[in-house]
Amino acid sequence: MTAVARVALLDLRTIAPYRRQVVLTPLLVMAIMVNHPEVIVPGLVLLCASTTAGYPFMVSDRADLETLYAVLPLTRRSLLLGHYLWATAVFAVTAGLGTPVALLLARQQHHAFSGHTVATVVTLSWAAFALTVSIQFPLFVRFGFTKSGLMATTLPISIVAVAATRLHLRYTPDATGFALFAAGGAALLAASMVATTAVDPRRTGRSAID
């Protein structure tokens, strides 16, 4: 297992005390959106996945995990990339669980929910998630979760949620559009990784030698 993957697993372990919230919040979101299956995946991604992705930073602030990170056999680059791998895994699990639920509800309610609709919902949700995380993570690393406040959490999620909702209602991408949104999301995360590394106040120090 690579160092980056180990960091992602460490992130999973660090949020264990919040597992009840991580599970119950998506259930509440789905209950609220039960009559609108087409917005379940975007809702879960923006309201749950985007916040869950940042939980390791919150725990790090509260428990001073930077002290732990400093003694682990990890470079700062591996640590930061691991956080992004964690975020990507959170999206994958959220979309992977939310999509079948949306399909089941759509079938029960006799809503049209074609494969193209599923692709549209998931792809646009990915792009919105990537944009949100790409804004949040550099701020979390540079200023810390607590100091970033609304600037890095509620505000970006709200802006992206409004934009994604309007775009989803008015835009139906073709195959080229799907590819552009998927690639655009990946490009945003890649650019964010570079920015996060650049603004990391601990970038000159290493947790350990490779």
Q: How confident is the model at residue 210 (pLDDT cuts 50, 70, 90)?
A: very low
Region class of 110: left (phi > 0), else alpha (psi between -120 and 50), else beta: left
Could you report the per-residue pLDDT of 103-149, keeping only the tens digit for each? 999 888 888 778 888 888 899 899 989 999 999 999 999 988 888 86
Of 42-56, 65-79, 160-174, minimum mean pLDDT range: 160-174
Hey, what are 107's tokens?
Answer: 């079938």
Closest among 142, 101, 95 to 122, alpha carbons compared? 95
What's the rounded Cα separation, in Å, for the pair 110 and 39? Answer: 15
Q: Is the pLDDT of residue 19 over 70?
A: yes
Q: What pLDDT, on a 0 to 100 scale, did the predictor assign at position 161?
A: 67
Q: What pLDDT, on a 0 to 100 scale, did the predictor assign at position 164?
A: 61
Q: Is the pLDDT of residue 150 over 70?
A: no
Which ranges in the chain belong to alpha helices (H)? 3-14, 19-32, 40-44, 50-53, 55-63, 65-71, 76-108, 115-143, 145-148, 154-170, 175-199
Q: How confident is the model at residue 87 (pLDDT cuts 50, 70, 90)?
A: very high
